[in-house]
A and B are shown apart, each in its own frame.
Chain A
Amino acid sequence: MVKAYGQEHVYKHPWERVTSASWRKFSDPENKRTLSHIVEVDTLNHKLDPESGKLYTTRAITVHAPGPWFVRKIIGQDICHCVESTVVDARTKSMQLTTRNISLQKFLEVEEKIRYDPHPDNPNEWTVCQQETSIRIKPLSALASMAEKVEQKCAEKFMQNSAKGREVMERMCKYLEAESRGIAM
């Protein structure tokens, strides 16, 4: 059983600024309070292809276990390790992030894909973000009998967290905009 949902958001900021904000989303101390589900972010690898202008990044992201409290109770863990792979193409201006859980895989698989592209109606000023999340409870796991409920609760939680993520992104974009104009905040 797979539950998938998508969201779209338009940032009234250029692609360069929005993707810069995306890198700073987890590292800025002020955001840590808002994004309290993020425990730790570590860069594992950066690879730059100087010919094509593509940057490949792998990060380890530790989050508080997804879903409602009874899921944490069943799986007996309250943190979950994820791997995020990012490809930024500076030439075509696209950024794609894919995040998957690597722990708790015998219970559930969560995959989140985010893309940032210049908005077709105003490519120099706006950026469109497309987000797709899929949640799959493993059929033979302890969670299987209540899979639908768990998926629903997980989806709600992810929606809340992505709303927080947007809020942080908007704040970072404003900050970077002010910084680029030389105004200290």
Chain B
Amino acid sequence: MRITKKDKRDQSSTSPCAHLRAAYHNCFNRWYSEKFVKGQWGKEECEHLDDKHLSRFLEAEIVPSDLGKPVDGVSQ
């Protein structure tokens, strides 16, 4: 079953990003109130959504029928 990209845009709150985003916000809010403003600003403890996460989402979006096809520029 193919899910079009267009549909996904409207489902931001239920997208795979949503729970990671919520987890990140919780982590950040806690770090900010309990550490940063109290003088413990030595390091940030929350992992932000980065390229690693984004590539995972992109992988998850590839539908099985696309998997067997060779990708341009990649030697097999």
Partners in one complex: yes
Chain A residues 13 to 62 lying within 8 A of chain B, measured CB to CB, are 15-17, 19-20, 23-24, 27, 40, 42-43, 45-46, 48, 50, 53, 55
Given contacts A20-B32, A23-B32, A90-B36, contact A48 B24 (CB under 8 A): no
Chain B residues 10 to 55 lying within 8 A of chain A, measured CB to CB, are 12, 21-22, 24-25, 28-29, 32-33, 36-39, 41-44, 48-49
Task: Please count how many residues in chain A sit with their CB below 8 Å of the partner chain's CB atoms.
Answer: 20
Q: Which of B21, B29, B41, B48 contacts A46 (CB 8 A)?
A: B48
Q: Which of A20, A43, A53 contacts B24 (CB 8 A)?
A: A43
**List of B residues within 8 angstroms of A27 by Cβ:** 22, 25, 29
A-B contact pairs, 22 of them (CB 8 A): A17-B33, A19-B37, A20-B29, A20-B33, A20-B37, A23-B28, A27-B22, A27-B25, A40-B12, A45-B48, A46-B28, A48-B41, A48-B43, A48-B44, A50-B41, A53-B36, A55-B36, A55-B41, A88-B36, A90-B36, A90-B41, A176-B33
Determine chain B's interface SS by DSSP, over half rule: helix
> Which B-chain residue is minimally distant from A55 (CB atoms)?
B36
Task: Please count how many residues in chain B sit with their CB below 8 Å of the partner chain's CB atoms.
Answer: 19
B interface residue numbers (CB < 8 A to A): 12, 21-22, 24-25, 28-29, 32-33, 36-39, 41-44, 48-49
* A24–B21 CA distance with the chains assembled, in angstroms: 13
**List of B residues within 8 angstroms of A43 by Cβ:** 21, 24-25, 28, 48-49
Smallest beta-carbon distance A172→chain B, Å:
10
A interface residue numbers (CB < 8 A to B): 15-17, 19-20, 23-24, 27, 40, 42-43, 45-46, 48, 50, 53, 55, 88, 90, 176
